[in-house]
Amino acid sequence: DAGVTQSPTHLIKTRGQQVTLRCSPISGHKSVSWYQQVLGQGPQFIFQYYEKEERGRGNFPDRFSARQFPNYSSELNVNALLLGDSALYLCASSGTSGRATEQYFGPGTRLTVT
Amino acid sequence: TQLLEQSPQFLSIQEGENLTVYCNSSSVFSSLQWYRQEPGEGPVLLVTVVTGGEVKKLKRLTFQFGDARKDSSLHITAAQPGDTGLYLCAGDHSGYALNFGKGTSLLVTP
């Protein structure tokens, strides 16, 4: 079975632009979480969606938004990009309960803001 | 906010040596996970520990969860170059969000 998939792999944007990142969870998983990993740091929690509802949100500005579709795939949107948004954006898929103990990560999308 | 402190930050050893990395917090976690991450890739789950005092073994890796569920350690016996990577601990106390440490970057040279 395929693991968590993310697209695109790499992305270069200009400050002020908007970006959409995509994630497909492991088959059968109903929850998707998004994390931001800045170079030299551990991942920071942004959002979790379970059964298409937002279950939790980390300490990120309103420029960050997300949604989950009926097929459980998810999109992360970031508006008005700042240089500090440059990071590896990770999507994690959770098992049927959606608990954090079952999170499996995708390869990430490397976003560079210039 | 990083609730988990990992030490050491960097570790460079030779093949065959043993090592221990630590993950400490002032918070109690319902569970704690260890991940290994290679450059440009997502973290790969190694183990989840749930019960205070729990010890789990994965081949040459031994994981321990502290009795108070605030700290954990990862011990690697006879390290190999394939063990090179960033080792991350992550704690779950909300039920849905993982709080990660900054990681321990391990380099094992032949």
Q: Dump pLDDT digits (tens) for A20-30.
A: 999 999 998 88
To test the contact with chain B by mutation, choose from A5, A30, A101 the residue with the greatest count of B C-beta atoms within 10 A, namely A101
Closest-CA residue of chain B to A98: B96
* Phi, psi (degrees; rounded to nearest 5) at A84: -70, -10
Q: What is the pLDDT of residue A2?
A: 80
Q: A43, A100, A46: which is closest to A75 by C-alpha? A: A46
Reported as half-sphere exposure (CB side, CA atoms, 13 A), residue A95 has a value of: 6
Residue B8, preceding bond cis, omega within 30 degrees?
yes
Instruction: Measure CA B10 to chain center.
Output: 13
Full domain range(s) for residue A17 = 5-113
CATH of the domain at A38: 2.60.40.10
Q: How many domains does chain A have?
A: 1
Quick one: pLDDT at residue A69?
A: 96
For residue A98, pLDDT over 70 is answered with no
Residue A40's pLDDT is what?
87
For residue A97, pLDDT beyond 90: no
Q: How confident is the model at residue A91 (pLDDT cuts 50, 70, 90)?
A: very high
Cβ–Cβ gap B33/A101 under 8 Å: yes
Query: Residue B15: its pLDDT value, please?
Result: 97
Contacts of B101 (CB under 8 A, 6+ apart): A42, B2, B4, B5, B6, B23, B88, B89, B90
pLDDT at B96: 79
Provide the percentage of residues in chain A whose pLDDT is more than 90: 79
Vertex B45, ends B43 and B47: CA angle to 5°?
A: 145
* Mean pLDDT per 10-residue segment, chain B (110 residues): 85 97 92 92 92 95 94 97 96 83 96
**What pLDDT shows up at residue A101?**
67
User: With an 8 Å Cβ cutoff, are B98 and A103 in contact?
Assistant: yes
- 3-state SS, residue B70: coil
Three-state DSSP state, B6? strand
In sequence order, what DSSP letters do the residues of chain A get, joined into one string? ----EEE-SEEEE-TT--EEEEEEPPTT--EEEEEEE-TTS--EEEEEEETTEEEEE-S--TTEEEEE-TTS-EEEEE-S--GGG-EEEEEEEE-TT--GGG-EE---EEEEE-
pLDDT at B95: 74
CA distance A14 to A23: 22
